[in-house]
Amino acid sequence: MIIFKRPGLSALKIVMLLVIATASTREVCAQETRRSTAPAPSERIFLGGSFGLQFGTYAYLEFSPVVGYWLAPRISVAAGPSFKYYKDPYGSSDVWGWKGYTRFAIINDLSNIIPSALGISFYLHGEYESLSFRTSYLGIQSDAPRQQVNTVFAGAGMSQPLGSRGNINLTLLWVVDDGGYMIYNNPEYRIEFVFRFFAPRPARVESY
């Protein structure tokens, strides 16, 4: 039984987001060149995360910021807190915890293969998340007021440059292990924004 189910994001909305991102970066990407040297440690730091909001019979709120670091040209790691709120006809719960993930870029820049791709990249994604729910919301018998739910995800995604320092990422994740609580759809989609504030302005925001 799925405890909470968010409506799916239509393919049209996803395409519109990617078209907007592509249009906003076409001129920037056309004038920039790839860096030939590895960036300084501070330039490998990125900030990002996701935000979700829904009202109605099924209400949902999420704020999940992350701080990340590029360990190698194709490998990045990130972690941060997660704050969520669920409400449906059966109850409600404030939720808090944390998540951490690692990504491996299988294609750093598709424009090396297709010139018009404008820096699109593809990656594999692995994630661990630990969240605390109200026990009553999960529908289990326990004297404890809250229950920890740990979830392991695996998936893949694509990243589109957004301006000279940012990216918009679309990730599809499948639940590998959730302890039987089934709090997520399968697959789970994520749209997030990532920014690298410490990078020089002329630099493209991508793995080095």
pLDDT digits 0-9 by tens, 62-113: 999 999 999 998 999 999 999 999 988 888 999 999 999 999 999 987 877 7
**Residue 11: pLDDT over 60:** no
Q: pLDDT, tens digit, for every residue of 25-38?
A: 444 444 444 444 66
pLDDT band at 24 (very low <50, low <70, confident <90, very high): very low
Structural domain boundaries in the chain? 11-33+44-195
Q: Give the contacts of 19 (CB within 8 A, at least 6 positions apart).
A: none
In this predicted structure, what is the pLDDT of residue 5?
44
In this predicted structure, what is the pLDDT of residue 127?
97
Q: pLDDT, tens digit, for every residue of 44-60?
A: 999 999 888 888 888 99
In this predicted structure, what is the pLDDT of residue 4?
46
Rounded mean pLDDT, 15-22: 49
70 or 6, higher pLDDT: 70
- pTM to 2 decimal places: 0.75
Token digits for 115? Answer: 């010139």
Distance set, CA 148 to CA 41, 78, 144 (Å): 35, 21, 10
Report yes or no: 107 and 95 within 8 Å, Cβ to Cβ. Answer: no
Closest listed residue to residue 83, CA positions, set 101, 95, 74, 66: 95
Question: What value does the mean pLDDT of the chain take?
Answer: 80
**Residue 10: pLDDT over 70:** no
Rounded mean pLDDT, 149-178: 92
CATH of 11-33+44-195, one of 2.40.160.20, 1.10.1060.10, 2.60.120.10, 1.20.120.530: 2.40.160.20
